[in-house]
Amino acid sequence: MALTTYVEAIRQGIWEEMDADPRVFILGEDVGIYGGAFKVTEGMLEKFGEMRVIDTPISEAAIVGAAIGAALMGMRPIAEMQFIDFISCAFDQITNFAAKNRYRWGAGVPIVIRGPSGGGVHGGPFHSQNPEMYFVHTPGLKVVAPATAHDAKGLIKASIRDEDPVIYLEHKYLYRRIKEELPKGDYVVPIGRAAVRREGRDLTIITYGAMLYQALEAAEVLTREGGIEAEVIDLRTLLPLDKDAILASAKKTGKVLVVHEDTKTGGIAGEIAAIVNEEIFEYLDGPVLRVTAPDTPVPYSPPLEEFFLPNKDKILTAARKLAAY
């Protein structure tokens, strides 16, 4: 059976949307002739032409700004950030222009800003970031983070079709490590809906991105060694959060562990803990715990990065502690 990698799934999703809708186009650095630093846009210049696959100067603010202008004129731009770490160079355009446009004067900005995020590849502080919370904190935006090849394709399509600005976070660690068989034909994964990856009744692990696989491995160990059945929820969308899915699972198990590669303070685990606390405190049998990266920049040297990143073992420690309540 034909398996598609996570990166190829994104590429297919973009390709199919560009094929179906002439309003969709791509702009970014090295996306044309080079096919993108990670080859997400490979072949697109030849197929769609240089009018729709634009190699820009090094100008993240202009890349996003131009995307906004084109979107106001009815186009559906996809702005690539070569590494999502460079999205900070366009912070103003995203948070103050795109995010607030509809609210202020009704002119929606249907743009997608996408790029590779995350660590585990010895990228150091500026090629490994998880910047989602700057944008989750900005009303008017949507933020998605697929963990599977299936969702990568379905979510990029949903993002392109969405009427509002979407930050689409691809995890670079997953690019070529994940391979799946994808459904034929057009399909979309809705924004704002989490997925239950593994059912269980003893505790809930909520996560997203590359950490999904660490969480699933940990869940296997919990069952094998202690008969503990963990339910694993893949958020898929960070803004808007699928509160219903989170609360349904939390009510069922009464024990919630949030895992994310993002740093601890201001990470979405805090937000989820607050929601669970506010809405279903009576159902809890233990505190909401979290496993996250510490509050430091992403370090470069392998032992430092290993210390920094959450992994299966750190998840197991927290899960066992929670299960014991």
Partner 1 sequence: MKGAPKLRTAPRALAAVPDAGPRPTPSDADLLRMFHEMKLTRALEDRIERKLYRQGKITGGVYVGRGQEAISVGAAMHIRRTGEEDRDDIVSPSHRDMAVFLMQGIPMERILAQYMGRRTGLTRGRDGNMHMGDMRHRVVAFISHLGDSIPVAAGCALTFKMRGTDQVSFCFFGEGAASRGDWHEGVNFAAVQKLPVIFICNNNGYAYSTPAAQQMAVAHLSDRARGYGIAGSSHDGNDILEVYDAVGGAVARARAGGGPTLLEFVTFRMTGHSAHDDAGYVPKRLFEEWARKDPILRLGALLEERGLVDAAAVRELDERLESEVSQAVAWAERQPYPDPAECLEGVTKE
Partner 2 sequence: MATEASRLRERPQLRGRKTRHGAASAADPIAGMMPGPLRPPVNPGLKRAELLAMHRHLLLNRLVEEKLSALYRQGQIVGGLYSSLGQEAISVGSAFALRPDDLLAPMIRNIGSLLVRGVSPRDLFLQFLARYDAPTHGKDGTLHFGNVEKKSLIGPISHLGTLIPVMTGAAMAARMRGEDRVALTYIGDGGTSTGYFHEGLNQAAVLKLPLILIVENNGYAYSTPTARQFAVESLAERGPAYGCAGESVDGTDILAVYAATLRAVERGRRGEGPTVLECRAMRMRGHAEHDDMRYVPKRLLEAWRGRDPIGRFEAFLIEEGHAVRAELRSAAAALAPELERAAAEALASPLPPPEEALKGVYWEPGYERPWWPSA
Active-site residue numbers?
A: 127
How near is the Cβ of 200 to partner 2 at its closest, in Å? 31
Selected from 93, 130, 237, 263, the binder of partner 1 by CB under 8 A is 93
How near is the Cβ of 73 to partner 2 at its closest, in Å? 8
By beta-carbon proximity to partner 1, the closer residue of 57 and 185 is 57
- 142 makes contact, choosing from partner 1, partner 2, none, with CB < 5 to 8 Å by partner type, with partner 1
Binding mask 101-120 for partner 1 (x = CB under 8 A): xxxxxxxx------------
- Residues of this chain, 5-44, that bind partner 2 according to CB under 8 A: 22-23, 29-30, 32-34, 37
275 contacts partner 2 (rule: CB under 8 A): no
# residues near partner 1 by CB under 8 A: 43
Q: Can you give the chain as a three-state secondary structure string?
A: CCCEEHHHHHHHHHHHHHHHCCCEEEEECCCCCCCCCCCCCCCHHHHHCCCCEEECCCCHHHHHHHHHHHHHCCCEEEEECCCHHHHHHHHHHHHHHHHHHHHHHCCCCCCEEEEEECCCCCCCCCCCCCCHHHHHCCCCCEEECCCCHHHHHHHHHHHHHCCCCEEEEEEHHHCCCCEECCCCCCCCCCCCCCEEEECCCCEEEEECCCHHHHHHHHHHHHHHHHCCCEEEEECCEEECCCHHHHHHHHHHHCCEEEEEEEECCCCHHHHHHHHHHHHHHHHCCCCCEEEEECCCCCCCCHHHHHHHCCCHHHHHHHHHHHHCC
51 contacts partner 2 (rule: CB under 8 A): yes
Selected from 1, 57, 184, 282, the binder of partner 2 by CB under 8 A is 57
Residues that bind partner 1 (CB under 8 A): 25, 51-52, 54, 56-57, 59-75, 77, 92-93, 96-97, 100-108, 139-140, 142, 162-164
